[in-house]
Homo-oligomer: A and B are copies of this chain.
Amino acid sequence: MTSTIKTAAMLAIGDELLSGRTKDKNIGHLADLLTVAGIDLKEVRIVADEEDAIVEALNALRSKYTYVFTSGGIGPTHDDITADAVSKAFGVPCLHDPDAMKLLGDMYAGRGLEFTEARQRMARMPEGSRHIPNPVSTAPGFIIGNVHVMAGVPQVFQAMMAHVIETLPAGQRVLSRSIACPFGEGDIGTALGTIQKAHPETSIGSYPHFDGQRFSTELIVRAREQAIVDAAAADVEAMIAALRSEKDAAAKRDLGTGEVA
């Protein structure tokens, strides 16, 4: 079963994400897509537009996970250094790709715009890369090894990922069941831990929500086989029902009505 498990990491690149100027929207989008595709997103890193930081993070991630997805730093300005950094990480030259030059040259010619030196920067990629098409603004992303390099602008990132996700062999999807629990984690924690131990092939997540007054919890049971999810979910639901009965009984006692029907 483990042979079909695919893992992934994301590397989001950009000073603006670390200064607070831009609130990242690509991580959550990628997480949603990969979950549906049955690929486990295991780690995300955000680094600045600094070559050493990008190279170090990329080499750490690409050696560890099946796929790496990057966002940001492939535009035409001096701070767009992702293509150079990825080339350095792979130890190959960063070149003006002839197909990308033609694609961009034709597009700008059609729009009556000069194909400036800055715009030509967007055709640069590590030698040996394949393109990721960009239906929004033409300048392609690229794939080298297990690394998928995409734009940071969310509309472009999403369009590129819509293509990429179709090209990846789907993994064995993690199945999940979400169970709303009206009680806080402090009420359920011990019993839930016991259920987790009794169902070691599941991963049971507990996600507190605070509405400004009190906590409730969303419980998510995950496993790769339906029967395993179902068995653990049944125990979780029984635990919530038992706790509800117990709390109702306590409330009646507090009201002095414990003995009436």
Contacts and interface: CB of A to CB of B under 8 A. Distances in A.
Interface of A: 15-24, 27-28, 31-35, 40-49, 53, 57, 75-80, 108, 113, 116-119, 121-122, 136-137, 153, 155-156, 185-190, 192-193, 196-197, 203-210, 212, 215, 220
Contacts of A78: 189, 192-193, 196-197, 204, 206
Contacts of A40: 18
A32 B18 contact: no
Q: In the complex this chain forms, how many copies of it are found?
A: 2
B189 A77 contact: yes
Given A18-B43, A118-B190, A119-B189, 9 more contacts: A18-B42, A19-B41, A45-B46, A77-B189, A77-B192, A79-B196, A79-B205, A108-B186, A118-B189
Nearest to A218: B21
Contact of A186 (B31, B116, B136): B116
